[in-house]
Amino acid sequence: MAEPFIWQGRTDGDTEEHLRIHQVMNKIIPAKFALLGFASDEGVKRNKGRLGAKAGPQAIRQQLAGLPIHQSLAIRDVGTVSCDDGDLEKAQRQLSDEIIDILSQNQTPIILGGGHEVAFASFQGLFDFVSQTQPKKVIGIINFDAHFDLRSAPQATSGTPFLQSAKLCQQHERPFHYLCLGIADHGNTKILFDTADQLGCRYIRDKALTQSQLPNIIQQIQHFINEVDYLYITIDLDVFSASIAPGVSAPAPKGISVEIFDELFAVIKASGKIKVFDIAECNPEFDIDNHTAKLAAYLIYQFLF
């Protein structure tokens, strides 16, 4: 585990109406939410992307610390799993085990990435926990992402997590439910579309995620949610335009708007089925005035409240 983050920031007062997240972090027991960092860009390196996402967890924490709270919040910081030696598989297993421990305490893990290789660790942790405790329950993955991340490769990368997840399901004869929102035609080869179709994945392209199409899209999302018992939600920040999320490993020239995300996420959150939530590809090395880290903190804020 990496060095613990020191939760501090602006303090306007100690009474309830003045509180910010840093003032309540690790203060209320038992916690409802547990933050867990994944400091890794080994998967991005293997995928030949631009490095820097390893610093993402601390950058997101810094932006989250000062956000105000308007209702009681029971949240703790578990720390950060780091991939320092190039052994991504070991780090992913460690993160999965931490997630299992958090879930066993009836808390909801919020994982801060890091490259999108975090996704296989997040899914594996939830998959193993459900297999051990409620083996008949069905898990669904909703990925906000410009990319399928279904790439076939000789080793795990930031582009392989959902093919790894599909294979994990196949090994245990479990259904693979995967919905990807924000897919960019220019960001995925034909083989990735073919792989998605062969696996029965569902996806909605970025160009379809418009205000006029919302009723139909919400209906599709709701149908997906109704088919599963638990949800793993993962947000790759490159699903947003580079104009609002410049600090990512693969910036998007188009992307979806935050307003569209908010409306879709509200439907997902209202289901009450989210068991694991993560943010991926926050890359401070290429951020501008912390825009991307602030966006990541905002997305977490939407989940918390």
Q: Which residues are annotated as a binding site for Mn(2+)?
A: 116, 145, 147, 149, 236, 238
Angle at 27 between CA 23 and CA 31, to 5 degrees: 120
C-alpha torsion sign, points 237, 129, 226, 177: positive
- Residue 30 preceded by cis peptide, ω within 30: yes
- DSSP single-letter state for residue 256: B
Beta strands in the chain (DSSP E): 33-39, 75-82, 108-113, 139-144, 177-183, 202-205, 230-236, 274-280
Q: Which residue has the tokens 């950060």?
A: 80
d(CA 74, CA 31): 5
Helices of type H across 152-257: 161-171, 190-198, 214-226
Residue 193 identity (one-letter amino acid):
F
Give the residue numbers of the binding site: 116, 145, 147, 149, 236, 238
Other CB atoms within 10 Å distance of the CB of residue 238: 28
d(CA 255, CA 258): 10
Record the tokens describing residue 236, joined without a space: 């790759």
